[in-house]
Amino acid sequence: MTSAQPSPAWIANKQVLITGATSGIGRAAALELASRGAQLNVIARDQAKARALADEIAQISNSTSVRFFHADLADLDEVRTVAKTIGSELGPIDILVNNAGVAARWPRVTTEGRDEMLTANYLGPFVLTHLLLDQVLAASPARIVITGSEAHRMTGPFDAERFEHLGQYSGLAAQLAYGRTKLLDILFADELAARLAGTGVTVNSFCPGLVSTGLTRDVPGADRLGRLLSATPLIRTPKQGARMLIHLAADAEVDGVTGRFWTSTPGLGLLPAVAARRHPAVAERVYRRTCDLVGIKELTA
């Protein structure tokens, strides 16, 4: 569910760092958070879009503190570099929002030899979160919000020992591969919430619903089709899809709530958790293997 009574005063002057804020639900959320007085910090790979966002924020907010950091989350070297920059230039982070993502129609490989979608959607945010965790802990009570998807229910067979091998995909297989990256995000949120219990830092994941965004930029005509469908009940606008993100990031009533997956799709919240989420050992194993894959020191619970 979403907040019936937003609490704009709670978010005022809090440091928010958000990825994927130059388009889609991230952009809609950034504009709303800025209008509520948040001190906005954005990681973006497209500087032109970042400047356009800054111009629009300037029109709706008196805040002059919006800051941009350049990085592509599909490049782990850039993720490490931007985390170091943020560490030296930004103080405690009250709200970290891992929102950036891509739904690839076919596999591409990064310079490190990893699947690009897996890296952008999961490995990059995983590394970024760990490298900024001291700054988040310094702001405690603080929040980490991770954009997941109901697509996590459609992954095909899931093997915690081989989750990083998405293989070749297109068509339906691409949907399953995307769903796996979202399942990994949600498992990460679950495990991180458990490991941060008692620190004052909460971790939640959510699904924004089926939203017309630039997520499927590999599909010719997808943006135009999405805009058309947004005028129907089938697909939400980015502003509608951002409501749950804003709720989890900015509303006082979710203080202390952690380790939950929130869905914006009516009725789906009644469904049981998928098998991988019903067994905490799966999330723990995925977490440890991911730490090994990307060279991150495991956070001790």
Confidence of residue 63 (pLDDT cuts 50, 70, 90): low
Is 178 a residue of the active site? yes
Asked if pLDDT for residue 213 goes beyond 80, the answer is no
Instruction: Please report, to the nearest 10 degrees, the dihedral formed by the alpha carbons of residues 143, 63, 23, 1 taken in order.
Output: 40
Q: Bridge-partner residues for 135, per DSSP?
A: none
Structural domain of 107: 8-294
Q: Is 30 helix (H, G, I), strand (E, B) or coil?
A: helix
Query: Is residue 146 included in any domain, yes or no?
Result: yes
Query: Is residue 244 included in any domain, yes or no?
Result: yes
Tell me how far apart the alpha carbons of residues 289 and 286 are, in angstroms, rounded to a whole number: 5
Tell me how far apart the alpha carbons of residues 228 and 62 are, in angstroms, rounded to a whole number: 34
The pTM of the full predicted model, rounded to 2 decimals, is 0.90
The per-residue pLDDT of the chain, averaged, comes to 88
pLDDT of amino acid 267? 73
Query: Is residue 1 included in any domain, yes or no?
Result: no
pLDDT of amino acid 3? 40
Query: Is residue 284 included in any domain, yes or no?
Result: yes
Query: Is residue 122 included in any domain, yes or no?
Result: yes
Instruction: Give the 3-state DSSP-derived string for 151-166, with helices as H, strands as E and coil as C.
Output: HHHCCCCCCCCCCCCC
Top mean pLDDT of 33-47, 69-83, 267-281 is at 69-83
The answer to whether 93 and 142 are in contact (CB under 8 A) is: yes
Q: For the chain, what is the domain count?
A: 1
Asked if pLDDT for residue 236 goes beyond 50, the answer is yes
pLDDT of amino acid 61? 73
Q: Bridge-partner residues for 15, per DSSP?
A: 39
Asked if pLDDT for residue 21 goes beyond 70, the answer is yes
Instruction: Give the 3-state DSSP-derived string for 225-259, with helices as H, strands as E and coil as C.
Output: HHHHHCCCCCCECHHHHCHHHHHHHHCHHHCCCCC
Asked if pLDDT for residue 38 goes beyond 80, the answer is yes
C-alpha distance from residue 84 to each of 77, 89, 182 (Å): 11, 9, 26
Q: Is 132 helix (H, G, I), strand (E, B) or coil?
A: coil
CATH of residue 217's domain is: 3.40.50.720
Adjacency order of strands within the sheet including 142-147: 67-70, 39-44, 15-19, 95-98, 142-147, 201-207, 261-263
Confidence of residue 211 (pLDDT cuts 50, 70, 90): low
Asked if pLDDT for residue 253 goes beyond 80, the answer is yes
Share of the chain above pLDDT 90, in %: 75
Confidence of residue 10 (pLDDT cuts 50, 70, 90): confident
Query: Is residue 3 included in any domain, yes or no?
Result: no
Query: Is residue 299 included in any domain, yes or no?
Result: no
Share of the chain above pLDDT 70, in %: 87
Query: Is residue 120 included in any domain, yes or no?
Result: yes
> Which of 128, 132, 148 is closest to 25 using CA atoms?
148
